[in-house]
Amino acid sequence: MREHPHTARYVTLAVILIVVASLLFPLLEGMGAAGFLGDKTYLVVLQDNSETRSTGGIISLMGVLTLHDGHIENLHYYYSHTSTTMQAVVPLDGPESLTSFFGFNAVNLSDSNVQYDFASFASKVQSDWYNVTGQKLDGVIGMDFTAVEKILSITGPITSSGEVITDRNVWQRLEFYSSRQNGTQMASLLSTLTYGTLGLILDASVPQKLALYNAFRDLANEKHLFIYPDQGLLLGTGDGTNRAPQSDSISVVDINLGNGKSDFGINRSIDYHVQLLPDGSAVSNLTLTYVNGDWWGSDLFSQAVVPPGAKLVAVYNDTAQFDGPGITNGTDFTVFSSRFDVSPYTTARITYLYTLPNLTYGNGLGTHYDLYVVKQGGIDRYGLNTSVELPAGATLIHTENVGSNRVFTDDAHVSVVYTT
Amino acid sequence: MNRKLVAAAVVILFIVIALAVIAYAFLAAIPAYEITYKEPASAVHASLGKTATSDTIALRLNSVTDGSNPATAAAWAKYNLESGLASGIWLYNVSLMPPPSDSYLVANLTLTNVQHTPVPFSYAALALLTSNGTAYYANYPACNANCSAQALDNQTLNAGFSSDLYVLFSVPAGTSAAKLVYTTSNPVIVMSAN
């Protein structure tokens, strides 16, 4: 067969176009997000992840940031406990597993991050912010104290209100300001850091810029940093959307109902045993374990979000002051929710035994079972122990992430392929 | 020839991508920042357990211990609770469990107002120095209710104030404290930790 005389030229041109496009699209997205293609106004939400809330942590500050050609045009932070804006009461449209359990449907704006994922909160808070202030937002940036630490490790130390702030002391300094309700000093620190980070993006050396970009990607993957709406290739899945496909899934969404900043001292792990039946349906045994290594307790409200159609068979707990379980049946999920104490230096466990409809699928290679474990924002890491029991007579072909003592800092995918 | 050209283009592309990945990994390494502190010549010095005095306050470093020390942990818990209750807002219990590869060191100091009038004080001006001069600025303080109301809430010590104060420092694992310095007094106070 004779080759077309221009084939090589076309292939070379195509390769060059692919390379240029792959460089250009993130650049355009970055420029758009930074206000080069029109001013952008973001709501910046600082979440204290030592006090767990659904989307990452209790909200310490909210700020309005306007970018123009990559520079900060305007920046103002509001402290959650003293700002009348953040104390404004907003309606809640869910999640039902929370509102039904406690019987309320409105909260302060500063307490409104109760959705199962950041993207759901971000779209709602944009609307709430407009209703409260009349100000339109282009997006919402969420970051927790872990993200602040990481960003400071790249920008280097800063001086705020005369104090030297480093990546080593920023966490406790923010806690100290919060404990004294010193919103001014907290806002000052965040303002200095915001200006410093934007300055670094524009003026830093190439290694610093790359380090910052790498850090942002890692923080987004590990759900310490969110930018909503999705910025495409720039930050991957950084908008915080729960993207678990139609398969088996577990998303544990905890809320610390007390205070005392106890969540940093609690290790979380998920034990999951699933028995696959010949018709593809399953019997699942999910145990959530909380090991409190610190000297004060935690009052936790835990929501286990699992696939739609799940039917709770039994619940076991060895926790203190157990309240629940609540069961919420939605079109996209089922939620088992409970409230319990994790006392100092103790271990609390709660087990849900439930059935699942057929979530396996077949292709030429065999039958596939997939489990997606969705990490909650703000949590540093969790342990995962999974075991999958195949139908009688089935032959195992392949497994991924099945077994004990695995530790994840991001979402996990467990996969099993077998033949029957 | 055309096939050779295509093959060459593909090979060059792979090489360029591989070099870019290597360069990216190399350049994207996060630089480590360390702060060094140079003591001013005018600084006053005290050895461990001895008091040094500036124009407004006197400080005595009683000990520097690891946060895992049971006595330190007990004192930390006691004074965190007292500080929280004194603030009248809510409890802020700060963990003594450091992240992996870090250590928490806790300094126990005695703080005194040497004036007959209120004087300013900020725990944030305290830094822990290693033997090579690397400085780690304070993370979090705790002390009894009376101390907390003055030294931590108001950051002002009344006349006659004297109290023990516990201050947490986060350092890389294996780091030893050589000195503690109060950086904003006149003169600067430097206390030996050994």
Does residue B140 register a pLDDT over 80?
yes
| Number of structural domains found in chain B | 2
Average pLDDT, chain A: 88
Chain A within 8 Å of B3 (Cβ-Cβ)? yes
Directed axis angle between helix A183-203 and helix A206-221, to 10°?
120
Asked whether residue B20 falls in the same domain as residue B85, the answer is no
Q: Please tell me whether residues B90 and B105 are part of one structural domain.
A: yes
Instruction: Look at B95 and A294 and tell me if their CB atoms are within 8 Å.
Output: yes
Q: Are residue B44 and residue B24 in the same domain, yes or no?
A: no
Mean pLDDT of A335-347: 94
Q: Find the range with the poorest average confidence among A35-39, A305-309, B65-69.
A: A35-39
B63 shares its domain with B147: yes
Give the whole-angstrom CA distance, residue A413 versus residue A244.
Answer: 10
Q: Is the pLDDT of residue A29 over 70?
A: no
Does A237 score more than 70 pLDDT? no
Higher pLDDT, A185 or B45: B45
Q: Which domains does chain A have, with CATH numbers?
A: 34-234 (3.40.630.190), 248-419 (2.60.40)
What predicted TM-score, i.e. pTM, was given to this entire model?
A: 0.88
For chain B, the first-to-last Cα distance in angstroms comes to 77
Residue A328 has pLDDT above 60, yes or no: yes
* Same domain as B109, residue B67: yes
- The whole-number pLDDT of residue B89 equals 59
Asked whether the predicted pLDDT for residue A240 surpasses 70, the reply is: no
- pLDDT over 90, % of chain A: 62
* Domain co-membership, B14 together with B43: no
For position A212, what pLDDT does the model report? 83
Quickly list H helices, A34-156.
84-87, 96-102, 118-133, 145-155
**Contact yes or no for A176 and B170 at CB 8 A:** no
Whether residue A220 has pLDDT greater than 70? yes
**Paired tokens of A171:** 């966490």
Instruction: Determine the pLDDT at residue A210.
Output: 82
* Residues B95 and B133 grouped into a single domain: yes
CATH number of the domain that residue B91 is part of: 2.60.40.1240
Position B122 pLDDT exceeds 90: yes
For residues B67 and B147, membership in a common domain is answered with yes
Residues of chain A neighbouring B127 (CB-CB closer than 8 A) = 164
Is there a single domain that holds both residue B105 and residue B182? yes
Quick one: B151 and B186 in the same domain?
yes
Residue A25 has pLDDT above 60, yes or no: no
Q: How many CB pairs under 8 A join A and B?
A: 123
Q: Are residues B116 and B176 in the same domain?
A: yes
In this structure, are strands A347-356 and A58-68 parallel, antiparallel, or unpaired? unpaired
The reply to whether B166 touches chain A by the CB within 8 Å rule is: no
Predicted pLDDT of residue A111:
93
Tell me if chain A has a CB within 8 Å of the CB of B88: no
What is the predicted pLDDT for the residue at A90? 97
Residues B3 and B72 in one domain: no
Select the more confidently predicted residue: A34 or A89.
A89
Residue B26 is part of which domain span?
1-31
Q: Average the pLDDT over each of A27-31, A181-185, A360-364 and give the range with the smallest value.
A: A27-31
The interface residues of chain A toward chain B in range 348-387, judged by CB-CB distance below 8 A, are none
At residue B43, the pLDDT reads 97
For residue A6, what is the nearest residue in chain B, using CA coordinates? B2
Chain A residue with CA closest to B138: the answer is A169
pLDDT reported for residue A198: 82
pLDDT over threshold 60, residue A118: yes
Strand A412-419 with A320-329, pairing: unpaired
What confidence category does residue A31 fall into, taking pLDDT thresholds of 50, 70 and 90? Answer: low
| Residues in contact with A100: Cβ distance below 8 Å, sequence separation at least 6, in sequence order | A326, A328
pLDDT at A5: 62
pLDDT at residue B26, rounded to an integer: 53
Residue A294 to chain B, least CA–CA distance (Å): 7
